């Protein structure tokens, strides 16, 4: 990545994060993959070291950073290490911003300090068994009940689905109003009627606790409403660009990391008396991946700087998300091929990257939805 994009403060922060990952995560990650979850203690350690909720204002225990380049660093260092288990990005870059931007003072004081410290783990529940990209079609409802709401419904594919202490739930408060009837609610762990499903068995990311959630006659007081009633869809649209940056940052770092490993492998692995990278076909493939990955990095960095200025719109965010994640899929697949049979062995980094990468073109908005957003922005 270009050194000029990050300054000395960023590099110091990266050095601290890298040492944390190497010390607290890498030696244990394979066991966490077998367990299907990372320990809560890891979250507290990450909080103690200042790696969570970087955008939280100082008044709530955070650093109040408005430079998204800092947010990139924990994502990149986890990807670089092949550590797909810790759901830090969902907690810090997706859940916390909703509370920061739309939460009441009471909600900010209640959740943000503990989220910064890693004592309160956040999750968000959007997707339903029958509803994915079309958020206006969610069936979970929050009906007025006295001074509060009665929440009923089911959600799935929830990152931090088992560990969460608070979960943002997307629900319909007006079933006749399409997207204008959507509201967001903060639901605490242990609330009567809120039950977690079993951990979902995924193709990859085995240490990440992805689960379902069930809400049956969950009574929520009025202060559980996040922001204004009926504004949930607007809030989601306003913060989705940052969510898509999360996926894009991970995608570009995955391309760079896997490509570096594959280049070294192609220098060391021999066939017919010479390194396999010396064969023109392989050399051309490596050259193509190197070029496309550098292009992706430049575009990503451009989008991050736009985001810092508050100018990253939905269309541009869709562009960087679909381009970088589709590139990740192609690059990792090609690198598996260049590794030959070893690329199919899970003890090799490239094999794990292969199964962990596949979901990237699906969550945070599928490639097809990203193209639809871009096409509509062109007037079609």
Q: Quickly list DSSP for 180-229.
A: GGEEEEEEETT-TTEEEEEEP--SS-TTS-EEEEEEEEEEE-GGGEESST
Residues 212 and 255 in one domain: no
Question: Is residue 2 predicted with pLDDT exceeding 60?
Answer: no
Express the helix, strand and coil content of the chain in percent, nearest 5 each. 55, 15, 25
182 Cα distance to chain centroid: 23
Residues 66 and 150 in one domain: no
Residues 211 and 302 in one domain: no
Backbone angles phi, psi at 271, to 5 degrees: -150, 135
pLDDT, tens digit (0-9, with 9 covering 90-100), for 66-90: 999 999 999 999 999 999 999 999 9
Single out the catalytic residue among 243, 268, 309, 311.
243
CATH number, domain at 190?
Answer: 2.40.110.10
Question: Is residue 275 predicted with pLDDT exceeding 60?
Answer: yes
Angle at 100 between CA 95 and CA 105, to 5 degrees: 125
Residue of 379, 250, 235, 362 lying closest to 315 (CA atoms)? 379
pLDDT, tens digit (0-9, with 9 covering 90-100), for 149-184: 999 999 999 999 999 999 999 999 999 888 899 999
Residues 196 and 319 in one domain: no
Residues 241 and 337 in one domain: yes
pLDDT, tens digit (0-9, with 9 covering 90-100), for 183-227: 999 999 999 999 999 899 999 999 999 999 999 999 999 999 999
pLDDT the model gives residue 347 = 94
pLDDT the model gives residue 132 = 75
| Under 8 Å between Cβ of 277 and 267 | yes
pLDDT, tens digit (0-9, with 9 covering 90-100), for 298-309: 999 999 999 999
Residues 211 and 267 in one domain: no
Single out the residue in 228, 257, 287 at which a domain terminates: 228
Question: Is residue 1 predicted with pLDDT exceeding 70?
Answer: no
- Cβ-Cβ contacts under 8 Å for 203 (sequence gap 6 or more): 355, 358, 359
Residues 100 and 148 in one domain: no
Residues 150 and 281 in one domain: no
pLDDT the model gives residue 373 = 95
Residues 114 and 197 in one domain: no
CATH number, domain at 342?
Answer: 1.20.140.10
- Domain range for 46 is 3-120
pLDDT, tens digit (0-9, with 9 covering 90-100), for 277-328: 999 999 999 999 999 999 999 999 999 999 999 999 999 999 999 999 999 9
Based on its alpha-carbon atoms, the radius of gyration of the chain, rounded to whole angstroms, reads: 21
| Under 8 Å between Cβ of 194 and 187 | yes
pTM over 0.85: yes
CATH number, domain at 103?
Answer: 1.10.540.10
Residues 102 and 147 in one domain: no
Residues 291 and 188 in one domain: no
pLDDT the model gives residue 131 = 83
For the chain, what is the largest distance between any 2 Cα atoms, rounded to a whole number of angstroms?
79
DSSP E strand boundaries for the chain: 122-125, 141-145, 148-159, 166-172, 182-188, 194-199, 210-220, 225-226, 270-271, 274-275
How many domains does one find in the chain? 3
Single out the residue in 120, 139, 169 at which a domain terminates: 120
Residues 211 and 92 in one domain: no
pLDDT the model gives residue 3 = 67
Average pLDDT, the chain: 96
Q: Confidence class of residue 366 from pLDDT cuts 50, 70 and 90? A: very high
In this structure, the chain runs to a length of: 380
- Tell how strand 122-125 and strand 166-172 pair up: parallel
Question: Is residue 378 predicted with pLDDT exceeding 90?
Answer: yes
Residue of 271, 246, 267, 259 lying closest to 321 (CA atoms)? 246
Say whether 243 is catalytic.
Answer: yes
Residue of 121, 358, 352, 141 lying closest to 257 (CA atoms)? 352
- Could you give the percent of the chain with pLDDT greater than 70? 99
Single out the residue in 120, 137, 160 at which a domain terminates: 120
- Could you give the percent of the chain with pLDDT greater than 90? 95
């Amino acid at each position: 990545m270009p050194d000029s994009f990050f300054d000395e403060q960023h590099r110091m922060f990266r050095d601290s994060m890298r040492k944390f990952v190497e010390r607290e995560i890498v030696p244990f990650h394979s066991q966490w993959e077998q367990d299907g979850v990372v320990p809560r203690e890891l979250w507290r350690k990450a909080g103690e070291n200042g790696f969570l909720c970087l955008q939280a204002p100082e008044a709530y225990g955070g650093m109040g950073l408005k430079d998204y380049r800092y947010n990139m660093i924990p994502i990149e260092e986890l990807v670089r290490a092949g550590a797909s288990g810790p759901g830090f990005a969902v907690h810090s870059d997706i859940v916390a911003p909703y509370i920061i931007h739309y939460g009441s003072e009471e909600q900010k004081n209640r959740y943000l300090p503990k989220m910064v410290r890693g004592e309160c783990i956040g999750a968000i529940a959007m997707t339903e068994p029958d509803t994915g990209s079309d958020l206006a079609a969610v069936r979970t409802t929050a009906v007025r009940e006295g001074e509060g709401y009665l929440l009923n419904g089911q959600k799935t594919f929830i990152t931090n689905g088992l560990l969460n202490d608070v979960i943002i739930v997307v629900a319909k408060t007006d079933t006749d109003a399409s997207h204008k009837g959507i509201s967001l609610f903060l639901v605490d762990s242990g609330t009567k009627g809120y039950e977690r499903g079993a951990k979902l068995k995924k193709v990859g990311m085995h240490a990440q606790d992805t689960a379902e959630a069930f809400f049956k006659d969950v009574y929520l007081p009025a202060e559980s409403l996040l922001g204004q009633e009926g504004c949930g869809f607007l809030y989601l649209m306003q913060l989705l660009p940052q969510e898509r940056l999360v996926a894009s940052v991970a995608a570009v770092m995955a391309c760079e990391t896997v490509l570096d490993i594959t280049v070294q492998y192609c220098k060391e692995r021999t066939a017919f008396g010479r390194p396999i990278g010396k064969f023109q076909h392989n050399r051309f493939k490596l050259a193509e991946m190197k070029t496309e990955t550098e292009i992706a990095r430049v575009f990503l960095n451009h989008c991050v700087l736009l985001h810092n200025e508050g100018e990253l719109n939905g269309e541009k965010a869709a562009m960087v998300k679909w381009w970088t994640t589709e590139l990740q899929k192609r690059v990792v697949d090609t690198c598996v091929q260049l590794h030959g049979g070893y690329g199919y062995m899970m003890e090799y980094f490239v094999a794990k990257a292969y199964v962990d990468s596949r979901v990237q073109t699906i969550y945070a908005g599928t490639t097809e939805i990203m193209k639809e957003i871009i096409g509509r922005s062109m007037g079609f």
